Chains A and B, each alone.
Chain A
Amino acid sequence: MAEQSVLRLGSHGFGPSQLLVMAIVNRTPDSFFRPGDTWDEQTAMERVRRVIAEGADIIDIGGVPAAPGHEVDVREEIRRTAGFIAAVRADFPDVVISTDTWRHEVAREACAAGADLINDSWGGWDDKLAAVAAEAGAALVCSHAGNQLPRTRPHRVSYDDVVADVLRHTQLLADRAVAAGVDRARIVIDPAHDFGKNTWHSLEVTRRLSELTATGWPVLVSVSNKDFVGETLNVPLPDRLAGTLATTAVSAWQGARIFRAHHVVETRQVLDMVSAIRGDIPPARAVRGLA
Protein backbone atom coordinates (compact mmCIF):
# COMPACT_ATOMS: atom_id res chain seq x y z
CA MET A 1 0.00 0.00 0.00
CA ALA A 2 1.50 3.31 -1.12
CA GLU A 3 1.39 6.42 1.07
CA GLN A 4 -0.50 9.48 -0.07
CA SER A 5 1.76 12.47 -0.60
CA VAL A 6 1.53 16.17 -1.43
CA LEU A 7 -0.69 17.03 -4.39
CA ARG A 8 0.42 20.03 -6.42
CA LEU A 9 -2.17 22.15 -8.19
CA GLY A 10 -0.95 25.42 -9.67
CA SER A 11 1.38 26.99 -7.12
CA HIS A 12 -0.34 25.20 -4.24
CA GLY A 13 0.67 22.07 -2.38
CA PHE A 14 -2.05 20.09 -0.59
CA GLY A 15 -1.26 17.46 2.02
CA PRO A 16 -3.14 14.14 2.22
CA SER A 17 -5.43 15.28 5.02
CA GLN A 18 -6.61 18.42 3.19
CA LEU A 19 -9.92 17.56 1.57
CA LEU A 20 -10.64 19.75 -1.43
CA VAL A 21 -13.97 20.88 -2.83
CA MET A 22 -14.06 21.20 -6.59
CA ALA A 23 -17.02 23.43 -7.45
CA ILE A 24 -18.78 22.76 -10.73
CA VAL A 25 -19.33 25.73 -13.04
CA ASN A 26 -20.87 24.68 -16.33
CA ARG A 27 -20.67 26.95 -19.33
CA THR A 28 -23.41 24.98 -21.04
CA PRO A 29 -27.09 25.55 -21.74
CA ASP A 30 -27.94 21.88 -21.19
CA SER A 31 -26.06 20.17 -18.36
CA PHE A 32 -28.11 17.70 -16.35
CA PHE A 33 -28.27 19.57 -13.06
CA ARG A 34 -29.96 22.99 -13.26
CA PRO A 35 -29.45 23.26 -17.01
CA GLY A 36 -28.31 26.66 -18.23
CA ASP A 37 -27.83 27.94 -14.68
CA THR A 38 -24.44 29.48 -15.46
CA TRP A 39 -24.70 29.70 -19.25
CA ASP A 40 -24.67 33.48 -18.98
CA GLU A 41 -21.12 34.68 -18.33
CA GLN A 42 -22.02 37.18 -15.68
CA THR A 43 -24.07 34.62 -13.76
CA ALA A 44 -21.22 32.16 -14.07
CA MET A 45 -18.80 34.68 -12.61
CA GLU A 46 -21.20 35.34 -9.75
CA ARG A 47 -21.26 31.62 -9.04
CA VAL A 48 -17.45 31.52 -9.03
CA ARG A 49 -17.38 34.36 -6.54
CA ARG A 50 -19.98 32.67 -4.35
CA VAL A 51 -18.43 29.19 -4.32
CA ILE A 52 -15.01 30.59 -3.44
CA ALA A 53 -16.60 32.42 -0.53
CA GLU A 54 -18.31 29.17 0.43
CA GLY A 55 -15.02 27.32 0.63
CA ALA A 56 -14.36 25.86 -2.81
CA ASP A 57 -10.70 25.10 -3.44
CA ILE A 58 -10.97 24.32 -7.13
CA ILE A 59 -13.25 25.76 -9.81
CA ASP A 60 -14.08 23.18 -12.47
CA ILE A 61 -15.16 24.86 -15.70
CA GLY A 62 -16.77 22.78 -18.42
CA GLY A 63 -18.31 23.56 -21.78
CA VAL A 64 -19.81 20.21 -22.81
CA PRO A 65 -22.41 18.15 -20.95
CA ALA A 66 -21.56 14.52 -20.26
CA ALA A 67 -24.82 13.27 -21.71
CA PRO A 68 -25.29 12.89 -25.44
CA GLY A 69 -27.00 15.79 -27.17
CA HIS A 70 -26.21 18.70 -29.41
CA GLU A 71 -22.75 18.44 -30.87
CA VAL A 72 -20.28 20.84 -29.28
CA ASP A 73 -17.17 20.93 -31.45
CA VAL A 74 -13.66 21.88 -30.35
CA ARG A 75 -14.06 25.48 -31.45
CA GLU A 76 -17.31 25.96 -29.62
CA GLU A 77 -15.97 24.28 -26.48
CA ILE A 78 -12.97 26.64 -26.50
CA ARG A 79 -15.27 29.59 -27.12
CA ARG A 80 -17.40 28.62 -24.13
CA THR A 81 -14.55 28.06 -21.69
CA ALA A 82 -11.17 29.63 -22.49
CA GLY A 83 -12.18 33.27 -22.25
CA PHE A 84 -14.09 32.59 -19.06
CA ILE A 85 -11.12 30.80 -17.52
CA ALA A 86 -8.97 33.85 -18.32
CA ALA A 87 -11.55 36.09 -16.65
CA VAL A 88 -11.65 33.92 -13.51
CA ARG A 89 -7.87 33.82 -13.40
CA ALA A 90 -7.75 37.63 -13.63
CA ASP A 91 -10.24 38.09 -10.80
CA PHE A 92 -8.95 35.26 -8.58
CA PRO A 93 -5.20 34.84 -9.07
CA ASP A 94 -4.88 32.21 -6.33
CA VAL A 95 -7.78 29.86 -6.91
CA VAL A 96 -7.10 26.53 -8.56
CA ILE A 97 -8.85 26.37 -11.93
CA SER A 98 -9.75 23.10 -13.59
CA THR A 99 -10.84 22.58 -17.18
CA ASP A 100 -13.44 19.84 -17.56
CA THR A 101 -12.59 18.47 -20.99
CA TRP A 102 -11.45 15.32 -22.74
CA ARG A 103 -10.01 17.15 -25.75
CA HIS A 104 -6.34 18.12 -25.90
CA GLU A 105 -7.00 21.16 -28.11
CA VAL A 106 -9.38 22.55 -25.52
CA ALA A 107 -7.07 21.67 -22.64
CA ARG A 108 -4.20 23.51 -24.33
CA GLU A 109 -6.24 26.72 -24.71
CA ALA A 110 -7.62 26.37 -21.18
CA CYS A 111 -4.15 26.00 -19.68
CA ALA A 112 -2.92 28.98 -21.69
CA ALA A 113 -5.85 30.93 -20.21
CA GLY A 114 -4.87 29.96 -16.68
CA ALA A 115 -6.19 26.46 -15.89
CA ASP A 116 -4.05 24.43 -13.48
CA LEU A 117 -5.76 21.07 -13.82
CA ILE A 118 -7.18 19.07 -16.74
CA ASN A 119 -10.19 17.11 -15.56
CA ASP A 120 -10.84 14.36 -18.10
CA SER A 121 -13.83 12.24 -17.12
CA TRP A 122 -13.71 10.11 -20.26
CA GLY A 123 -10.87 7.81 -19.40
CA GLY A 124 -8.09 9.25 -21.55
CA TRP A 125 -10.00 8.95 -24.80
CA ASP A 126 -7.73 11.59 -26.33
CA ASP A 127 -4.20 10.25 -26.00
CA LYS A 128 -2.64 13.67 -26.58
CA LEU A 129 -4.08 15.03 -23.36
CA ALA A 130 -1.16 13.99 -21.16
CA ALA A 131 1.35 15.69 -23.45
CA VAL A 132 -0.62 18.91 -23.16
CA ALA A 133 -0.63 18.63 -19.36
CA ALA A 134 3.12 18.02 -19.40
CA GLU A 135 3.77 20.93 -21.72
CA ALA A 136 1.66 23.30 -19.61
CA GLY A 137 2.93 22.03 -16.26
CA ALA A 138 -0.69 21.26 -15.43
CA ALA A 139 -2.20 18.52 -13.31
CA LEU A 140 -4.20 15.71 -14.93
CA VAL A 141 -7.17 13.61 -13.81
CA CYS A 142 -6.88 10.00 -14.98
CA SER A 143 -10.33 8.46 -14.97
CA HIS A 144 -12.16 5.24 -15.85
CA ALA A 145 -15.12 5.31 -18.19
CA GLY A 146 -15.18 1.66 -19.20
CA ASN A 147 -14.78 1.65 -22.94
CA GLN A 148 -17.33 4.40 -23.42
CA LEU A 149 -16.75 7.02 -26.07
CA PRO A 150 -17.18 10.59 -24.80
CA ARG A 151 -20.81 11.60 -24.35
CA THR A 152 -22.22 8.09 -24.55
CA ARG A 153 -24.33 6.26 -22.00
CA PRO A 154 -23.53 2.85 -20.58
CA HIS A 155 -25.70 0.16 -22.13
CA ARG A 156 -25.61 -3.28 -20.51
CA VAL A 157 -22.01 -2.85 -19.39
CA SER A 158 -20.60 -5.58 -17.22
CA TYR A 159 -17.26 -6.32 -15.60
CA ASP A 160 -15.47 -9.32 -14.15
CA ASP A 161 -14.55 -6.93 -11.34
CA VAL A 162 -15.34 -3.27 -11.84
CA VAL A 163 -12.87 -2.08 -9.20
CA ALA A 164 -10.06 -4.12 -10.73
CA ASP A 165 -10.88 -2.57 -14.09
CA VAL A 166 -10.86 0.92 -12.58
CA LEU A 167 -7.53 0.25 -10.89
CA ARG A 168 -5.97 -1.17 -14.02
CA HIS A 169 -7.11 1.64 -16.28
CA THR A 170 -6.46 4.62 -14.02
CA GLN A 171 -3.00 3.38 -13.15
CA LEU A 172 -2.24 2.74 -16.80
CA LEU A 173 -3.21 6.34 -17.58
CA ALA A 174 -1.24 7.65 -14.62
CA ASP A 175 1.87 5.73 -15.71
CA ARG A 176 1.44 7.03 -19.25
CA ALA A 177 1.10 10.58 -17.93
CA VAL A 178 4.34 10.24 -16.00
CA ALA A 179 6.02 8.88 -19.12
CA ALA A 180 4.67 11.84 -21.09
CA GLY A 181 6.31 14.19 -18.61
CA VAL A 182 3.48 15.10 -16.26
CA ASP A 183 4.75 15.89 -12.76
CA ARG A 184 4.04 12.87 -10.52
CA ALA A 185 2.76 15.23 -7.84
CA ARG A 186 0.15 16.53 -10.30
CA ILE A 187 -1.64 13.30 -11.14
CA VAL A 188 -5.07 12.42 -9.74
CA ILE A 189 -7.20 9.32 -10.37
CA ASP A 190 -11.00 9.24 -10.60
CA PRO A 191 -13.22 6.13 -10.80
CA ALA A 192 -15.83 8.30 -12.59
CA HIS A 193 -19.07 7.14 -11.01
CA ASP A 194 -21.86 6.55 -13.57
CA PHE A 195 -19.40 6.73 -16.50
CA GLY A 196 -19.47 3.32 -18.13
CA LYS A 197 -21.12 1.99 -14.99
CA ASN A 198 -24.55 0.99 -13.83
CA THR A 199 -25.74 1.86 -10.33
CA TRP A 200 -24.48 -1.40 -8.81
CA HIS A 201 -21.04 -0.71 -10.28
CA SER A 202 -20.92 2.83 -8.86
CA LEU A 203 -21.95 1.51 -5.45
CA GLU A 204 -19.23 -1.15 -5.60
CA VAL A 205 -16.64 1.45 -6.53
CA THR A 206 -17.74 3.54 -3.55
CA ARG A 207 -17.78 0.55 -1.21
CA ARG A 208 -14.24 -0.38 -2.23
CA LEU A 209 -12.80 3.09 -2.77
CA SER A 210 -10.01 2.32 -0.29
CA GLU A 211 -8.52 0.02 -2.95
CA LEU A 212 -8.04 3.14 -5.09
CA THR A 213 -6.64 5.31 -2.33
CA ALA A 214 -4.22 2.48 -1.47
CA THR A 215 -2.45 3.12 -4.77
CA GLY A 216 -1.05 6.35 -3.36
CA TRP A 217 -2.48 8.44 -6.18
CA PRO A 218 -4.81 11.18 -4.91
CA VAL A 219 -8.40 10.17 -5.64
CA LEU A 220 -11.08 12.51 -6.98
CA VAL A 221 -14.73 11.52 -6.69
CA SER A 222 -17.44 13.08 -8.78
CA VAL A 223 -20.73 11.89 -7.36
CA SER A 224 -22.81 15.04 -7.11
CA ASN A 225 -26.49 14.43 -7.90
CA LYS A 226 -25.61 11.57 -10.23
CA ASP A 227 -27.99 8.88 -11.46
CA PHE A 228 -26.62 6.17 -9.19
CA VAL A 229 -27.69 8.31 -6.23
CA GLY A 230 -31.08 8.87 -7.82
CA GLU A 231 -31.57 5.18 -8.52
CA THR A 232 -30.33 4.05 -5.13
CA LEU A 233 -32.77 6.30 -3.29
CA ASN A 234 -35.41 6.45 -6.01
CA VAL A 235 -35.39 10.24 -6.00
CA PRO A 236 -35.46 12.78 -8.83
CA LEU A 237 -32.69 15.29 -9.48
CA PRO A 238 -33.73 17.96 -6.97
CA ASP A 239 -33.74 15.42 -4.12
CA ARG A 240 -30.29 13.87 -4.44
CA LEU A 241 -28.35 16.06 -2.02
CA ALA A 242 -28.56 13.74 0.99
CA GLY A 243 -27.45 10.75 -1.06
CA THR A 244 -24.66 12.81 -2.58
CA LEU A 245 -23.42 13.88 0.83
CA ALA A 246 -23.57 10.36 2.25
CA THR A 247 -21.45 9.14 -0.66
CA THR A 248 -19.11 12.07 -0.10
CA ALA A 249 -18.63 11.15 3.55
CA VAL A 250 -18.03 7.47 2.83
CA SER A 251 -15.53 8.39 0.12
CA ALA A 252 -13.72 10.87 2.36
CA TRP A 253 -13.51 8.29 5.12
CA GLN A 254 -11.78 5.93 2.70
CA GLY A 255 -9.23 8.54 1.70
CA ALA A 256 -10.57 10.43 -1.33
CA ARG A 257 -9.09 13.91 -1.49
CA ILE A 258 -11.01 15.91 -4.12
CA PHE A 259 -14.80 16.15 -4.21
CA ARG A 260 -16.48 17.55 -7.29
CA ALA A 261 -19.70 19.18 -6.19
CA HIS A 262 -22.66 21.33 -7.08
CA HIS A 263 -23.45 22.12 -3.41
CA VAL A 264 -20.32 23.68 -1.96
CA VAL A 265 -21.51 24.69 1.52
CA GLU A 266 -22.94 21.29 2.32
CA THR A 267 -19.99 19.42 0.85
CA ARG A 268 -17.52 21.55 2.79
CA GLN A 269 -19.41 20.82 6.02
CA VAL A 270 -19.45 17.09 5.39
CA LEU A 271 -15.72 17.08 4.66
CA ASP A 272 -14.92 19.16 7.73
CA MET A 273 -17.02 16.80 9.83
CA VAL A 274 -15.20 13.74 8.46
CA SER A 275 -11.85 15.46 8.99
CA ALA A 276 -12.79 16.21 12.59
CA ILE A 277 -13.99 12.65 13.24
CA ARG A 278 -10.73 11.37 11.83
CA GLY A 279 -8.88 13.83 14.02
CA ASP A 280 -7.27 15.77 11.23
CA ILE A 281 -8.85 19.04 12.32
CA PRO A 282 -10.29 20.21 15.66
CA PRO A 283 -13.96 21.10 16.10
CA ALA A 284 -14.68 24.71 15.17
CA ARG A 285 -15.84 25.44 18.70
CA ALA A 286 -16.06 22.98 21.62
CA VAL A 287 -17.51 24.24 24.87
CA ARG A 288 -20.03 21.54 25.69
CA GLY A 289 -19.16 20.07 29.07
CA LEU A 290 -16.13 22.20 29.20
CA ALA A 291 -17.45 25.35 30.78
Chain B
Amino acid sequence: MIVSAALCPAAPLLVRDLTGADEAARDLRQACLAAVAELTAGTPDVVAVVGAGDRTGAWNGAATLDLDRYAPGPVLANGQGRAAVQRPPGEPPAMAPGLPPALGVGAWLLGQVGRAGGRLLQAVGADEPPGRCAGIGAALADSADRVALLVMADGSARRGLKAPGYLDERSAGFDAQVVNAVREGRLDALLSVDPVLARELMAAGRPAWQVMAGALDGRKVSSEIRYCDDPFGVAYLVASLRVRADP
Protein backbone atom coordinates (compact mmCIF):
# COMPACT_ATOMS: atom_id res chain seq x y z
CA MET B 1 0.00 0.00 0.00
CA ILE B 2 1.20 3.49 -0.80
CA VAL B 3 1.81 5.44 2.41
CA SER B 4 3.23 8.59 0.82
CA ALA B 5 4.33 9.93 -2.53
CA ALA B 6 6.57 12.66 -3.88
CA LEU B 7 6.83 14.16 -7.32
CA CYS B 8 10.15 15.49 -8.61
CA PRO B 9 11.52 16.38 -12.06
CA ALA B 10 13.93 13.94 -13.69
CA ALA B 11 16.40 16.64 -14.68
CA PRO B 12 20.06 15.55 -14.52
CA LEU B 13 20.96 19.05 -13.33
CA LEU B 14 19.47 18.17 -9.96
CA VAL B 15 22.70 16.28 -9.39
CA ARG B 16 24.86 18.95 -7.85
CA ASP B 17 28.12 17.70 -9.36
CA LEU B 18 26.81 18.06 -12.89
CA THR B 19 26.27 21.80 -12.74
CA GLY B 20 29.91 22.73 -12.35
CA ALA B 21 31.23 25.24 -9.85
CA ASP B 22 27.97 27.14 -9.78
CA GLU B 23 25.17 25.62 -7.81
CA ALA B 24 22.59 26.05 -10.53
CA ALA B 25 18.92 25.38 -9.76
CA ARG B 26 19.50 25.51 -6.00
CA ASP B 27 15.85 26.23 -5.14
CA LEU B 28 14.69 23.34 -7.26
CA ARG B 29 17.20 20.95 -5.71
CA GLN B 30 16.29 22.04 -2.19
CA ALA B 31 12.61 21.54 -2.92
CA CYS B 32 13.27 18.03 -4.23
CA LEU B 33 15.43 17.12 -1.23
CA ALA B 34 12.73 18.38 1.13
CA ALA B 35 10.10 16.33 -0.68
CA VAL B 36 12.25 13.20 -0.64
CA ALA B 37 13.17 13.71 3.02
CA GLU B 38 9.50 13.84 3.91
CA LEU B 39 8.79 10.84 1.71
CA THR B 40 11.31 8.66 3.50
CA ALA B 41 10.75 10.03 7.02
CA GLY B 42 7.89 7.63 7.67
CA THR B 43 10.27 4.63 7.42
CA PRO B 44 8.53 2.86 4.57
CA ASP B 45 9.39 -0.78 3.84
CA VAL B 46 10.36 0.18 0.35
CA VAL B 47 10.78 3.33 -1.71
CA ALA B 48 9.58 2.72 -5.24
CA VAL B 49 11.13 5.11 -7.75
CA VAL B 50 9.26 5.35 -11.00
CA GLY B 51 10.37 7.17 -14.11
CA ALA B 52 10.14 7.01 -17.88
CA GLY B 53 12.62 4.88 -19.79
CA ASP B 54 13.00 3.32 -23.20
CA ARG B 55 10.97 0.33 -22.05
CA THR B 56 9.16 -0.94 -19.00
CA GLY B 57 11.19 -2.95 -16.52
CA ALA B 58 12.56 -3.14 -13.02
CA TRP B 59 16.16 -2.25 -12.25
CA ASN B 60 18.49 -3.34 -9.49
CA GLY B 61 17.61 -1.20 -6.49
CA ALA B 62 21.28 -0.42 -5.87
CA ALA B 63 21.82 1.08 -9.33
CA THR B 64 23.04 4.66 -9.49
CA LEU B 65 23.35 7.33 -12.14
CA ASP B 66 26.44 7.14 -14.32
CA LEU B 67 27.69 10.72 -14.08
CA ASP B 68 30.37 10.02 -16.64
CA ARG B 69 27.71 9.86 -19.34
CA TYR B 70 26.85 13.50 -18.69
CA ALA B 71 30.13 14.92 -17.50
CA PRO B 72 33.00 12.96 -18.99
CA GLY B 73 36.50 13.99 -18.06
CA PRO B 74 38.72 14.19 -15.03
CA VAL B 75 36.85 16.78 -12.95
CA LEU B 76 34.11 14.63 -11.44
CA ALA B 77 36.27 11.52 -11.44
CA ASN B 78 38.61 13.26 -9.02
CA GLY B 79 36.21 15.45 -7.13
CA GLN B 80 35.44 19.14 -7.57
CA GLY B 81 38.39 21.46 -7.23
CA ARG B 82 41.01 18.78 -6.76
CA ALA B 83 43.95 18.28 -9.06
CA ALA B 84 42.77 17.01 -12.40
CA VAL B 85 44.56 13.70 -12.75
CA GLN B 86 43.34 11.22 -15.36
CA ARG B 87 41.62 8.12 -14.09
CA PRO B 88 43.19 4.82 -15.04
CA PRO B 89 41.98 4.23 -18.59
CA GLY B 90 39.31 1.61 -19.07
CA GLU B 91 38.25 1.54 -15.44
CA PRO B 92 34.60 0.56 -15.58
CA PRO B 93 32.12 2.79 -13.76
CA ALA B 94 30.30 0.91 -10.98
CA MET B 95 26.97 1.70 -12.54
CA ALA B 96 24.04 0.06 -14.28
CA PRO B 97 24.47 0.53 -18.03
CA GLY B 98 21.30 1.79 -19.62
CA LEU B 99 19.66 2.88 -16.36
CA PRO B 100 17.07 5.49 -17.35
CA PRO B 101 18.25 8.89 -16.12
CA ALA B 102 14.92 9.49 -14.39
CA LEU B 103 15.65 6.54 -12.10
CA GLY B 104 19.29 7.51 -11.70
CA VAL B 105 18.35 11.00 -10.59
CA GLY B 106 15.76 9.56 -8.21
CA ALA B 107 18.37 7.23 -6.73
CA TRP B 108 20.69 10.20 -6.32
CA LEU B 109 18.02 12.13 -4.40
CA LEU B 110 17.46 9.15 -2.10
CA GLY B 111 21.19 8.91 -1.49
CA GLN B 112 21.29 12.59 -0.57
CA VAL B 113 18.74 12.13 2.18
CA GLY B 114 20.48 9.03 3.47
CA ARG B 115 18.01 6.44 2.27
CA ALA B 116 20.21 3.54 1.19
CA GLY B 117 18.29 0.28 1.29
CA GLY B 118 14.79 -0.85 0.41
CA ARG B 119 14.67 0.64 -3.05
CA LEU B 120 12.76 -0.49 -6.07
CA LEU B 121 13.52 1.17 -9.39
CA GLN B 122 10.72 0.88 -11.92
CA ALA B 123 11.10 2.12 -15.49
CA VAL B 124 7.97 2.68 -17.49
CA GLY B 125 8.20 2.74 -21.26
CA ALA B 126 7.76 6.14 -22.89
CA ASP B 127 5.06 4.69 -25.15
CA GLU B 128 3.21 2.70 -22.50
CA PRO B 129 -0.53 3.45 -22.78
CA PRO B 130 -2.32 5.00 -19.76
CA GLY B 131 -4.10 1.82 -18.74
CA ARG B 132 -0.90 -0.16 -18.57
CA CYS B 133 0.80 2.64 -16.63
CA ALA B 134 -2.01 2.49 -14.09
CA GLY B 135 -1.56 -1.28 -13.85
CA ILE B 136 2.14 -0.87 -13.15
CA GLY B 137 1.21 1.59 -10.41
CA ALA B 138 -1.25 -0.83 -8.84
CA ALA B 139 1.44 -3.53 -8.80
CA LEU B 140 3.91 -1.15 -7.13
CA ALA B 141 1.31 -0.35 -4.47
CA ASP B 142 1.02 -4.08 -3.74
CA SER B 143 4.78 -4.64 -3.60
CA ALA B 144 5.02 -4.17 0.18
CA ASP B 145 2.93 -3.20 3.21
CA ARG B 146 4.32 0.32 3.33
CA VAL B 147 5.42 1.70 -0.01
CA ALA B 148 6.68 5.25 -0.50
CA LEU B 149 6.43 6.32 -4.14
CA LEU B 150 8.96 8.67 -5.69
CA VAL B 151 7.67 9.82 -9.07
CA MET B 152 10.32 11.31 -11.34
CA ALA B 153 8.42 13.22 -13.99
CA ASP B 154 8.65 16.41 -16.01
CA GLY B 155 6.17 18.55 -17.83
CA SER B 156 6.73 19.99 -21.27
CA ALA B 157 10.25 20.84 -22.44
CA ARG B 158 8.78 23.27 -24.93
CA ARG B 159 7.89 26.20 -22.71
CA GLY B 160 9.83 29.00 -24.33
CA LEU B 161 12.02 30.14 -27.21
CA LYS B 162 15.11 29.00 -25.30
CA ALA B 163 13.55 25.70 -24.22
CA PRO B 164 15.16 22.41 -25.24
CA GLY B 165 12.31 21.82 -27.68
CA TYR B 166 11.63 25.47 -28.54
CA LEU B 167 8.24 27.03 -27.84
CA ASP B 168 5.00 25.18 -28.31
CA GLU B 169 2.14 27.45 -27.28
CA ARG B 170 0.10 24.48 -26.09
CA SER B 171 2.60 23.66 -23.36
CA ALA B 172 1.34 26.23 -20.83
CA GLY B 173 -2.24 24.92 -20.86
CA PHE B 174 -1.09 21.32 -20.85
CA ASP B 175 1.18 21.74 -17.84
CA ALA B 176 -1.37 23.84 -15.97
CA GLN B 177 -3.85 20.96 -16.13
CA VAL B 178 -1.31 18.59 -14.66
CA VAL B 179 -0.34 21.01 -11.90
CA ASN B 180 -3.97 21.60 -11.00
CA ALA B 181 -4.73 17.89 -10.89
CA VAL B 182 -1.81 17.35 -8.52
CA ARG B 183 -2.58 20.40 -6.41
CA GLU B 184 -6.19 19.39 -5.94
CA GLY B 185 -5.41 15.72 -5.39
CA ARG B 186 -7.43 14.72 -8.47
CA LEU B 187 -4.90 12.15 -9.62
CA ASP B 188 -7.44 10.28 -11.75
CA ALA B 189 -7.37 13.26 -14.09
CA LEU B 190 -3.77 12.37 -14.94
CA LEU B 191 -4.98 9.18 -16.58
CA SER B 192 -6.61 11.25 -19.30
CA VAL B 193 -3.37 13.01 -20.27
CA ASP B 194 -3.02 12.24 -23.98
CA PRO B 195 0.19 10.32 -24.74
CA VAL B 196 0.36 11.75 -28.25
CA LEU B 197 0.06 15.35 -27.12
CA ALA B 198 2.50 14.69 -24.28
CA ARG B 199 5.04 13.34 -26.74
CA GLU B 200 4.58 16.33 -29.05
CA LEU B 201 5.16 18.64 -26.11
CA MET B 202 8.18 16.64 -24.91
CA ALA B 203 6.46 16.02 -21.59
CA ALA B 204 8.51 13.00 -20.62
CA GLY B 205 6.74 12.58 -17.29
CA ARG B 206 3.43 11.39 -18.76
CA PRO B 207 3.82 7.64 -18.12
CA ALA B 208 5.16 8.21 -14.59
CA TRP B 209 2.22 10.49 -13.72
CA GLN B 210 -0.11 7.75 -14.85
CA VAL B 211 1.72 5.13 -12.79
CA MET B 212 1.22 7.42 -9.79
CA ALA B 213 -2.50 7.72 -10.58
CA GLY B 214 -2.76 3.94 -10.72
CA ALA B 215 -0.77 3.44 -7.52
CA LEU B 216 -2.98 5.87 -5.60
CA ASP B 217 -6.18 4.72 -7.26
CA GLY B 218 -9.17 5.96 -5.25
CA ARG B 219 -7.09 7.13 -2.29
CA LYS B 220 -7.70 10.58 -0.85
CA VAL B 221 -4.60 12.68 -1.27
CA SER B 222 -3.66 16.16 -0.18
CA SER B 223 -0.77 17.90 -1.86
CA GLU B 224 1.84 20.46 -1.05
CA ILE B 225 3.38 22.09 -4.10
CA ARG B 226 6.99 22.80 -3.22
CA TYR B 227 8.17 24.13 -6.57
CA CYS B 228 6.46 24.96 -9.84
CA ASP B 229 8.48 26.84 -12.45
CA ASP B 230 10.33 26.47 -15.74
CA PRO B 231 13.65 28.31 -15.42
CA PHE B 232 15.18 26.36 -18.32
CA GLY B 233 12.09 25.95 -20.48
CA VAL B 234 11.10 22.60 -18.94
CA ALA B 235 8.11 22.47 -16.59
CA TYR B 236 9.34 21.34 -13.18
CA LEU B 237 6.87 20.36 -10.51
CA VAL B 238 7.90 19.27 -7.03
CA ALA B 239 5.15 18.10 -4.71
CA SER B 240 4.59 16.06 -1.58
CA LEU B 241 1.45 13.95 -1.70
CA ARG B 242 0.07 12.87 1.64
CA VAL B 243 -2.29 9.96 1.66
CA ARG B 244 -5.18 10.54 4.04
CA ALA B 245 -5.95 7.79 6.49
CA ASP B 246 -9.74 7.99 6.14
CA PRO B 247 -11.13 5.82 3.34
Contact = CB atoms under 8 A, between A and B. Distances in A.
A33 interface: no
A152 B69 contact: no
A156 B20 CA distance: 16
Contact of B161 (A69, A161, A163, A232): A69
Contact of B70 (A67, A69, A153, A200): A200
A289 to B, nearest CB: 36
Interface in B159-212: 161, 163-166, 202
Given A162-B72, A200-B72, A234-B22, A156 B11 contact: yes
A201 B164 contact: no
B164 A207 contact: no
Given A155-B157, A158-B101, A231-B20, A207 B73 contact: yes
B12 interface: yes
Q: Give the bracket for the number of chain A residues in contact with chain B.
A: 20 to 34
Q: Give the bracket for the number of chain B residues in contact with chain A.
A: 20 to 34
B96 interface: no
B113 interface: no
A157 to B, nearest CB: 8
A159 B72 contact: yes
A122 to B, nearest CB: 16
Contact of B69 (A69, A158, A199): A158
Count chain B CB atoms within 10 A of each CB in A156, A163, A231 and give the residue with the most.
Answer: A156
A69 B166 CA distance: 7
Interface in A263-287: none
Determine chain A's interface SS by DSSP, over half rule. Answer: loop
B166 A203 contact: no
A29 interface: no
B198 to A, nearest CB: 15
Interface in A184-232: 198-201, 203-204, 207, 231-232
Interface of B: 11-12, 18, 20, 22, 66, 69-73, 97, 101, 157, 161, 163-166, 202, 234
Interface of A: 67-69, 152-156, 158-163, 198-201, 203-204, 207, 231-232, 234
22 contacts: A152-B165, A153-B165, A155-B157, A155-B164, A155-B165, A155-B234, A156-B11, A156-B12, A158-B12, A158-B66, A158-B101, A159-B69, A160-B69, A161-B72, A162-B72, A200-B18, A200-B70, A200-B71, A200-B72, A204-B72, A231-B20, A234-B22
